[in-house]
């Protein structure tokens, strides 16, 4: 697995903006923490993700609605670029390429209400969860 980062930390106090370190028992598994971007409905939240590198890595990666993981994937991309792109989705969700169709439909039908729901769920489920 050439090109794997040993550790990715972006940002500082009080929590890194993005933190990913390989699991001690499995170098292909990264527990990831991404902070919700400022000035977004997810601000103040900390989001826990799991990154599993497939056997095909670096030729393939991912199952999320993110163009660089699908048709724009390149083995030259770094994992930190992928994580920054995931964080960018929190700042600017794309309801035209959803993972959850019902959420995308709500976002399209009433964006203001969807943003308020995202803020409420962020407060309820993701604050202080590290």
Task: Concatenate the DSSP letters of all residues of the chain into one string.
Answer: -TT--S-EEE--SSS-SEEE--BTTBTTEEEEEEEPPTTSTTTT-EEEEEEE--TTTTS----SS-GGGTTT--TT--HHHHHHHHHHHHHS--TTS-SSHHHHHHHHH-HHHHHHHHHHHHHHHTTT--
61: cis peptide before it, omega within 30°? no
Active site residue 65: yes
Residue tagged active-site, from 60, 65, 84, 115: 65
As annotated, the active-site residues are: 65
């Amino acid at each position: 697995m050439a090109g794997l980062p040993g550790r990715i930390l972006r940002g500082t106090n009080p929590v890194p903006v993005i933190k990913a370190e390989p699991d001690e028992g499995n170098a292909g598994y990264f527990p990831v923490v991404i902070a919700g971007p400022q000035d977004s409905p997810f601000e103040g939240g900390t989001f826990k993700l799991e990154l599993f590198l497939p056997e095909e890595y670096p030729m393939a990666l991912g199952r999320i609605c993110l163009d660089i993981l699908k048709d724009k994937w390149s083995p030259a991309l770094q994992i930190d670029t992928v994580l920054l792109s995931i964080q960018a989705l929190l700042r600017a969700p794309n309801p035209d390429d959803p993972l959850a169709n019902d959420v995308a439909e709500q976002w399209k039908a009433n964006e203001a209400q969807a943003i308020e729901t995202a803020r409420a769920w962020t407060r309820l489920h993701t604050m202080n969860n590290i």
